[in-house]
């Protein structure tokens, strides 16, 4: 996004002399520069340059392992020509005006948008800082700015040279140009650099990186919560007699919302032990009490009825029916997808400490815009009285981006009932996380496709039943249109294929089990359904699967042209030949095109995924190594989901409790992944999630190619396959 830059004024702080140069966005959303950031200055910087020449990039998106710190730092360092090894990073404070996600209009990380929304913003901040330093050096040396060069943090002209820090005092007094000049792609040294190391590698490998779980404050007490074993249950009463025998136990209190009982302890262990010793009477009158089979049947029953919502107004499930009934051939398929847990390595936790101005929240905070007012409301504070200290997070996959800020809210409630005198650290155990809800939603699809005598599609009826993620949340106004939650149907409604007469019907499922976005959100199930169905069409026609996809894409349409390039690249690197006993799938998500070829071995019911070939078209590749890592990680996470994972319920209670019965993909099971990045000078698009959706159907299509068995009911273990 280009920022319209006015004359950037010098914003003077209270310091007697400038000790650093700050370049960022002021309260009007305009790039600005200054010598300091104080309580009297409305400047929130993206770039800070100290007197010793150290460049610090302020990261507005949180880091959960996806490489955001490296990407945003690359953009600034590229334009300012900094020494990469000496550039530092720091997370931005909560401020949804100056540090907002330009795509969301609020401060938050998600939707694979971190680099995409920041690409021009951070580059222009870096370019503005460079311009100020160059003119400051020219003034200092009495030379023309055009004679000055900058490389690796050193400014030079003839026999003169100096590091950035030598010029920050003068630079902070200069007016800025109307618009900073940014580099052209042929001038890039860091953007697209294959050898650039990640900025967070050193801290994470040496143990110096601070995660939320590492927070340990003087006088801090610990909290653990006994949640209802059934979703929707509330506390009637509790007995803490047994908890009093636990060493380190402090007290127990019912949460204000009656959703659980919090036990306080002097350390995590005592809090957990005391919590487990509580005896709680629950009210299950409005709780979910059904088991998984009944829930699946309830989803499928909705598909038998007229859809609650029609996505298209011209082509509906009603008027497409005659076209399909009159077709020469029909294809029908029912799919079911289970609840899935996020299962990030660092379990949920949040620390709240009292301060002179209110409270400070220590968290791997994915959406400060939500967390800040949520905590403030619970504690009777104004949002500006809540400071958020964002720290590294050990994974999220969407779990920490909850529109309800559930675990932050619980931490605030625990802090409130503790008396608000000392810091309180709420920690969820792995079992809490696994049984705690906010899963990838269970869903059911039913599709019926009509083909003419030549095998061409004449009608496509696609129905879905799924619980809405967005309805009832602060995102409803943005993500729900005409009653349709976009995340429920994305991937079907946004398919790039030129499908004639496609009708999409949606019916919302309702129950107390809380659901949430999960890495790639709706695409986790829609891509599987769509790409399996496309493979079924190819099989029915005796057609090469890749040839079918290419025939249904129009090179005159920009995104379809990008997908064509991705398909051609994966076809080339995989050596695909017509008649291959391998699987193919491609999918467009988060404005990115990914195509996958899966090579598997099947011995009776034992399946081993040998290798995945992936091609991604994601615009300019800011950090190629990070992109490859995200494709590999997305593939691994996607395989975990389709092979064996599911959250099941018995009489409303979650069966799984930890990794022994919610088993993640292990190293010997992870296939080799070869990733080709399609060259592009287009604006960068998402990479954190798009690698996941096509991986599952590519593997499923490969299994079909070798066994003739379609897998429509996930996970695949339900079809009798064992993965080795």
Cβ partners under 8 Å of residue 248, min gap 6: 265, 266, 267, 269, 270, 271, 274
Nearest to 361 by CA among 346, 373, 344, 343: 373
Q: Is residue 433 part of a domain?
A: no
Count of CB atoms within 10 A of residue 371's CB? 30
Q: Is residue 535 part of a domain?
A: yes
* Count of positions (residues) in the chain: 724
Q: Do residues 718 and 619 share a domain?
A: yes
Mean pLDDT, the chain, integer? 94
Q: Do residues 265 and 397 share a domain?
A: yes
Cβ partners under 8 Å of residue 363, min gap 6: 212, 349, 350, 351, 371, 388, 389, 390, 391, 408
Q: Do residues 227 and 126 share a domain?
A: no
Q: Is residue 5 part of a domain?
A: no
Helix (H) or strand (E) holding 226: strand 221-227
CATH number at residue 358: 3.30.365.10
Flag whether pLDDT at 72 surpasses 70: yes
Flag whether pLDDT at 91 surpasses 80: yes
- Which pLDDT belongs to residue 31? 63
Give alpha helix (H) positions in 112-213.
114-141, 168-171, 201-206
Reported as a single tens digit per residue, the pLDDT across 540-563 is 999 999 999 999 999 999 999 999
Q: Is residue 606 part of a domain?
A: yes
Q: Is residue 1 part of a domain?
A: no
The mean per-residue pLDDT over the stretch 210-227 comes to 98
Q: Do residues 176 and 58 share a domain?
A: yes
Residue pair 155/164 in contact by the 8 Å Cβ criterion: yes
Q: Do residues 503 and 588 share a domain?
A: yes
Cβ partners under 8 Å of residue 635, min gap 6: 596, 612, 614, 671, 673, 691, 692, 695
What global pTM score does this model have? 0.94
The mean per-residue pLDDT over the stretch 369-397 comes to 98
Q: Which of 385, 406, 427 is the last residue of a domain?
A: 427
Q: Is residue 382 part of a domain?
A: yes
* Residue 29 DSSP one-character state: S
Question: SS3 for 460?
Answer: strand
Higher confidence at residue 53 or residue 190? 190
- Which pLDDT belongs to residue 43? 43
Q: Is residue 3 part of a domain?
A: no
Nearest to 378 by CA among 410, 401, 402: 410
- Which pLDDT belongs to residue 40? 30
Total of domains in the chain? 3
Q: What is the domain range of residue 242?
A: 213-285+348-427
Flag whether pLDDT at 415 surpasses 90: yes
Confidence at 30, pLDDT banded by 50, 70, 90? low
The mean per-residue pLDDT over the stretch 146-154 comes to 97
Q: Do residues 162 and 301 share a domain?
A: no
Burial grade of 202 (CB within 10 A; 0-12, 13-18, 19 or more):
exposed
Measure the CA–CA gap between 288 and 194, rounded to whole angstroms.
51
Q: Which of 427, 449, 476 is the last residue of a domain?
A: 427
Residue 616 bridge partners (DSSP): 594, 677
Q: Do residues 478 and 496 share a domain?
A: yes
Q: Do residues 335 and 231 share a domain?
A: no
Q: Do residues 615 and 553 share a domain?
A: yes
Reported as a single tens digit per residue, the pLDDT across 685-706 is 999 999 999 999 999 999 999 9
The mean per-residue pLDDT over the stretch 35-51 comes to 63
Parallel/antiparallel/unpaired status of strands 31-34 and 55-59: unpaired
- Which pLDDT belongs to residue 163? 95
Reported as a single tens digit per residue, the pLDDT across 475-511 is 999 999 999 999 999 999 999 999 999 999 999 999 9
The token pair that represents 409 in the structure block: 């809210």
Reported as a single tens digit per residue, the pLDDT across 270-304 is 999 999 999 999 999 999 999 999 999 999 999 99
- Which pLDDT belongs to residue 17? 39
Nearest to 712 by CA among 646, 642, 664: 642
- Which pLDDT belongs to residue 313? 74
Output b/e per residue, 121-157; b: 16+ Cβ within 10 A: bbbbbbbbbbbbbbbbbbebbeeeeeebebeebebeb
Q: Which of 182, 206, 230 is the last residue of a domain?
A: 206
Q: Do residues 277 and 327 share a domain?
A: no
Q: Do residues 384 and 517 share a domain?
A: no
Q: Percent of the chain having pLDDT more than 70?
A: 94
Q: Is residue 573 part of a domain?
A: yes
Token match 């920050």: residue? 168
The token pair that represents 403 in the structure block: 């529109």
Q: Do residues 334 and 278 share a domain?
A: no
Token match 């034992």: residue? 606
Flag whether pLDDT at 628 surpasses 70: yes
């Amino acid at each position: 996004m280009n920022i319209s830059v006015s004359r950037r004024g010098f914003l003077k702080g209270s310091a007697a002399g400038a000790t650093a140069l700050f370049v960022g966005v002021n309260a009007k959303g305009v790039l600005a520069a200054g010598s300091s950031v104080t309580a009297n200055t409305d400047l929130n910087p993206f770039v800070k340059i100290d007197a010793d020449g150290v460049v610090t990039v302020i990261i507005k998106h949180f880091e959960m392992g996806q490489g955001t710190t490296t990407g945003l730092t690359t953009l600034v360092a590229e334009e300012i020509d900094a020494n990469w090894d000496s550039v530092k990073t720091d997370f931005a404070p909560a401020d949804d005006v100056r540090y907002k996600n330009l795509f969301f209009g609020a401060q938050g990380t998600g939707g694979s948008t971190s680099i995409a929304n920041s690409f021009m913003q951070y580059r222009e901040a870096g370019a503005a800082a460079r311009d100020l330093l160059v003119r400051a050096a020219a003034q200092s040396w009495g030379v023309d700015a055009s004679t000055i060069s900058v490389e690796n943090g050193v400014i030079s002209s003839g026999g003169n040279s100096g590091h950035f820090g030598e010029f920050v005092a003068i630079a902070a007094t200069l007016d800025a140009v109307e618009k900073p000049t940014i580099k052209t792609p042929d001038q890039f040294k860091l953007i697209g650099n294959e050898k650039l190391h990640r900025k967070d590698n050193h801290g994470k490998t040496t143990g110096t990186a601070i995660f939320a779980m590492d927070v340990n404050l003087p006088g801090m007490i610990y909290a653990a919560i006994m949640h209802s074993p059934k979703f929707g249950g509330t506390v009637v009463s509790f007995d803490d007699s047994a908890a009093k025998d636990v060493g380190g136990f402090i007290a127990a209190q019912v949460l204000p919302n009656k959703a659980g009982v919090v036990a306080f302890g002097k350390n995590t262990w005592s809090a957990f032990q005391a919590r487990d010793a509580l005896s709680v009477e629950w009210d299950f009158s409005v709780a979910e009490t059904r088991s998984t089979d009944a829930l699946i049947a309830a989803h499928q029953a909705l598909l038998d009825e007229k859809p609650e919502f029609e996505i298209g107004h011209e082509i509906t499930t009603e008027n497409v029916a005659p076209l399909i009934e009159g077709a020469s051939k029909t294809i029908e398929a029912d799919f079911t997808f289970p609840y899935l847990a996020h299962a990030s390595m660092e379990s949920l936790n949040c620390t709240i400490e009292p301060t002179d101005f209110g409270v400070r929240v220590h968290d791997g905070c994915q959406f400060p815009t939500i967390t800040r007012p949520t905590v403030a409301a619970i504690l009777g504070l104004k949002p500006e009285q809540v400071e958020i200290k964002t720290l590294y997070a050990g994974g999220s996959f969407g779990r920490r981006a909850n529109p309800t800020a559930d675990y932050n809210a619980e931490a605030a409630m625990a802090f409130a009932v503790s008396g608000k005198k000392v810091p309180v650290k709420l920690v969820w155990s792995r079992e809490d996380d696994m049984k705690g809800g906010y899963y990838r939603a269970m869903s059911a699809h039913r599709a019926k496709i009509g083909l003419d005598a030549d095998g061409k599609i004449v009608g496509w009826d696609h129905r879905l039943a799924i619980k809405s993620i967005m309805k009832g949340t602060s995102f409803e106004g943005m993500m729900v249109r005409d009653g349709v939650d976009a995340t429920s149907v994305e991937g079907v409604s946004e398919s790039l294929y030129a499908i004639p007469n496609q009708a999409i019907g949606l019916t919302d499922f309702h129950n107390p089990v809380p659901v949430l976005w999960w890495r790639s959100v709706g695409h986790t199930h829609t891509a599987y359904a769509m790409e399996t169905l496309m493979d079924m069409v190819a099989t029915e026609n005796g057609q090469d699967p890749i040839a079918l996809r290419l025939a249904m894409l129009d090179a005159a349409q920009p995104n379809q042209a990008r997908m064509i390039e991705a398909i051609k690249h994966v076809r080339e690197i995989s050596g695909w030949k017509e008649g291959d006993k391998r699987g193919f799938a491609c999918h467009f998500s988060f404005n990115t095109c990914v195509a996958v070829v899966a090579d598997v071995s099947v011995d009776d019911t034992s399946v081993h995924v040998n290798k995945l070939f992936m091609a991604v078209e994601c615009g300019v590749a800011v950090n190629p190594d990070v992109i490859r890592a995200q494709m590999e990680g997305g593939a691994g996470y996607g395989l975990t989901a389709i092979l064996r994972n599911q959250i099941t319920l018995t009489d409303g209670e979650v069966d799984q409790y930890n990794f022994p019965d919610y088993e993640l993909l292990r190293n010997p099971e992870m296939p080799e992944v070869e990733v080709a990045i399609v060259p592009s000078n287009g604006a960068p698009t998402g990479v954190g999630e798009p690698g996941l959706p096509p991986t599952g159907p590519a593997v499923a299509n490969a299994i079909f190619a070798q066994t003739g068995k379609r897998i429509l009911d996930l996970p695949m273990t339900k079809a009798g396959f064992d993965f080795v």
